[in-house]
Amino acid sequence: MADAAPPLPGRFAEFWSAYRQSRGAMIGLALAVALVLLAVFADVVSPHPPNEQYRDFTLTPPAWQDGGTTRFLLGTDPVGRDMLSRLIHGTRLSLAIGVISVAISLSLGLVLGLIAGYFRGTTETVIMRVMDVMLALPSLLLAIAVVAILGPGLANAMYAIAIVLLPHYVRLTRAAVIAEAGRDYVTSSRIAGAGTLRLMFDTILPNCVAPLIVQATLGFSTAILDAAALGFLGLGAQPPTPEWGSMLASALEFIQRAPWVVTFPGLMILVTVLAFNLMGDGLRDALDPRLKR
């Protein structure tokens, strides 16, 4: 590879020039980068600690409304905590939920999909039937079932979401592996003496990555949305954790008097999910022109 002298654009440069074509994808990327920065520097950027209760300032409206103060730019919640700081810390939580559940799901899905696609036969049938069953349940219902077993909580919600996402990765990997396994380069490396594991992970897997990256990005937004829904139903993150869904749920009774306690967390969920959906669409068009809609 290294001695290929002609100045062909590198793989990344090629991908980047395709990705840049879409304005939506670029907006998504910019939003995602901003959110990641916000999450990483949450402690520095937040004007107040997320769980500090300013008892004299309960339900203070946002700064631009009557009675608002610049001390609490987006107002405070029913117990006087700064909305802005809680939203910023919520970014950290939501991105962590996305990363962790997608990572669990993707790595498990990769292995199961590789096994199913490589060995075929009974192993494949068993794995794929189990995935079919999981797909038969509506996603939120499956997540609720898992939470019913494990008990409510942030960590359990992440496991539940990882399980919900799993069938998609297994199916994608299996399909890609089956498509690749018959190619000449796989046969030749088997003849050259490559072992099963090497064939699976080193030869075949790198050529199946594109659809998985796309699915992982879209799965990220599903994870954030479902985690917020579970939090909202009281089955995910528990108060006082500044998770957007549970923030929304705990302020529900104040919706008429103080709409901002409900509006802003939802807006954050929408913007975050939108950012990763835009990125996922852009990645799909750039990485796999065949899938272009």
Partner 1 sequence: MLAFLLRRVALIVPTFLGVTLIAFALIRLIPGDPVENLSGERGMDPERRLRLLHEFGLDRPLPAQYAEYLNQIVHGDLGTSLTTHEPVLREFLTLFPATVELAFFAMVFAIVLGLPAGIIAAIKRNTVADYAVMGVSLTGYSMPIFWWALLLILFFSVHLGWTPVSGRIAVQYDVQAATGFMLIDTLRAGDFGAFRSALSHLILPSIALGTIPLAVIARMTRSSMLEVLREDYVRTARAKGLSRWRTVVVHALRNALIPVVTVIGLQVGLLLSGAILTETIFSWPGVGNWLIHGVQSRDYPVVQGGILLVATIVIVVNLLVDATYGVVNPRIRHG
The residue ranges that bind partner 1 (CB under 8 A) are 24, 129-130, 132-133, 136-141, 144-145, 147-149, 151, 221, 225, 228-229, 232-235, 245, 248, 252, 255-256, 259, 262-263, 265-266, 269-270, 273-274, 277-278, 281, 293
Handedness of CA 267, 68, 84, 254 (dihedral sign): negative
Minimum distance, C-beta of residue 228 to partner 1, in the bound complex (Å): 6
Q: How far apart are CA 72 and CA 265, in angstroms?
A: 15
Closer residue to partner 1 in complex, CB, 13/252: 252
How far apart, in Å, do the first and last CA atoms of the chain sit?
Answer: 33
User: For residue 4, how many other CB atoms are within 10 A of its CB?
Assistant: 7
Q: How far apart are CA 177 and CA 173, in angstroms?
A: 6
Minimum distance, C-beta of residue 63 to partner 1, in the bound complex (Å): 21
Joined together, the tokens standing for residue 261 give: 């306690």
Minimum distance, C-beta of residue 12 to partner 1, in the bound complex (Å): 26
Residues 6+ apart with CB under 8 A from 117: 124, 173, 174, 175, 176, 177, 178, 181
User: For residue 94, how many other CB atoms are within 10 A of its CB?
Assistant: 28
Q: How far apart are CA 29 and CA 50, in angstroms?
A: 27
Minimum distance, C-beta of residue 212 to partner 1, in the bound complex (Å): 21
Closer residue to partner 1 in complex, CB, 44/136: 136
Closer residue to partner 1 in complex, CB, 11/292: 292
Closer residue to partner 1 in complex, CB, 170/200: 170
Joined together, the tokens standing for residue 102 give: 């997608």
Minimum distance, C-beta of residue 133 to partner 1, in the bound complex (Å): 3
Closer residue to partner 1 in complex, CB, 52/132: 132
